Amino acid sequence: MRVLHVCTEIYPLLKTGGLADVAGALPAAQVKAGCDARVLVPGFPALRAGILDQQLVAELAPAFGAESIRLLRGVLPDSGVAAYVIDAPALYDRPGNPYADADNHAYPDNFQRFALLGWIAARLAEGLDPSWQPQIVHAHDWHAGLAPAYLKAAEQASGRKLAASVQTVHNLAYQGNFPSHVFGYLGLPAHFFDINGVEFHGQVSFLKAGLFFADKITTVSPTYAREIQDSEQGCGLDGLLRTRAQDLAGILNGVDDTVWNPATDPLIAGHYDIRDVTGKLACKTALQQEAGLSIQDEAPLFVVVSRLTEQKGLHLVLAALPLIVQRGGQIMLLGSGDAALESAFKAAAAAHPHSVAVRLGYDEQLAHRLIAAGDVILVPSRFEPCGLTQLYGLKYGTLPLVRKVGGLADTVVDSSLENLGDELATGFVFESFDEAGIGAALRRAFALYQRDADWKQVQKRGMQQQFGWNAAAAQYFALYQQIDTR
């Protein structure tokens, strides 16, 4: 089966979030399973520089504000997966963040930059590369949301099915909404600007386009697939998603074992595995030294690797800091985002330099060191489509402390007395999105840490959990087979 993944970032070449991890791992897992999976990406500098053996496939007429458009084909450096790159310098050749300027303002021409991405995906289904045509166009997040719409438009114009389409929602809160006048630049049929189409409260919504026109919709955990059909987490699209419930599936993300594996990870101070975790203490000691924390193992080290936003529940972590410090624990945070949260965490680190450490920004190598060193990883999100850091925590024997929501609810089992007795527990789970909820979970973590044998049993059970990409690749393949690809 020929599958084209349409996305904007791929680990390790370009990463701003979990989408890059998925785009780097899923096509590679599908290729190993026998699929002919390829990717299509915009020609951002990091992708143009990192994709190997690029050859010209086609030159296209000016469109979407770009005078020069070329389609190139190469291969991803680690996996060898074939990759198409849209070389349109006027749209993509910009320094820094692929979506926003240095002041974090979204580029005003983003609608053109990502309309071109969806349009090229449909052109590939029409035969733009004479040597290869996808049977499935798999669009990821709002940036690729117009791909199913352009496919549907081409299908209506030609009277024949070109390729089936799948829209994956990695986070429903990010929708790619633009003013209505933008529709005139997209080259879609006039009747597509409708409630049964791309129109959303008078705007053009790239994500809604994908949700409406795609043959199948997926999101990245079973619980999140249910949650987004309700008003609380539906972000205004719950009505549409309820009408498409039969076409909506939740497929849990996986962990790339070649990148996240404490037995082989070249970025950490000591290697360890489920049979012998003694190397984890070397990781903890090294991080304490690096961060200026006191060297101790009498109480747990909590770690956070996250964007600093209200969605991620970081204000709850801030409120819980006094409890952690009072009980002799330590915490180190890596992330950036909300300026008020950044300032508050920096102030806490200044007030408690031997117990609290903060690194603002994102550092992939430091993320590995934190997750290997920590005893507990905090993921107290308001909503969480899947979450990957709790999966990394499980794999590294760093017990996740999470809110019971989305993919967190699907992957972590609370260390209640019943679950400990039934040998099910893998972490700590709380329900109420408030200080009382996270406080109770933290007290359970401190209590379990004092019971060394029980802690090690929960740690071992967490490390036994299987979240590889092979299972996800098989589920996507089964989903593709449900669609008429003639």
Give pLDDT, residue 168.
Answer: 98
Question: Which of 15-19, 61-65, 72-76 is predicted least confidently?
Answer: 15-19
The percent of residues above 70 in pLDDT, for the chain, comes to 100
Q: What is the pLDDT of residue 485?
A: 58
Q: Which residues contact 272 (CB under 8 A, 6 or more apart)?
A: 262, 263, 278, 279, 280, 283, 397
Summarised one tens digit per residue, pLDDT across range 424-446 is 999 999 999 999 999 999 999 99
pLDDT at 456 over 80: yes
- The pLDDT tens digits of the residues spanning 162-204 come to 999 999 999 999 999 999 999 999 999 999 999 999 999 999 9
Is the entire prediction scored with pTM above 0.85?
A: yes
With residue 132 as reference, give the H or E element that holds it: none
> Can you tell me the mean pLDDT for 451-473?
95
- Predicted confidence band of residue 115 (pLDDT cuts 50, 70, 90): very high
- At 18, is the pLDDT very low, low, confident or very high (cuts 50, 70, 90)? confident
pLDDT for position 486 = 54
Q: What are phi and psi of 303, to 5 degrees?
A: -130, 150
| First-to-final CA distance of the chain | 12
Which residues, at least 6 apart from 438, have a Cβ–Cβ distance to it below 8 Å?
313, 316, 317, 319, 320, 380, 401, 403, 430
The pLDDT of residue 146 is 98
Q: Using 50, 70 and 90 to split pLDDT, how confident is the model at 362? A: confident
The Cβ-side half-sphere exposure at 139, using a 13 Å CA radius, reads 37
pLDDT at residue 19, rounded to an integer = 93
The per-residue DSSP string of 162-174 comes to: --EEEEEES-TT-
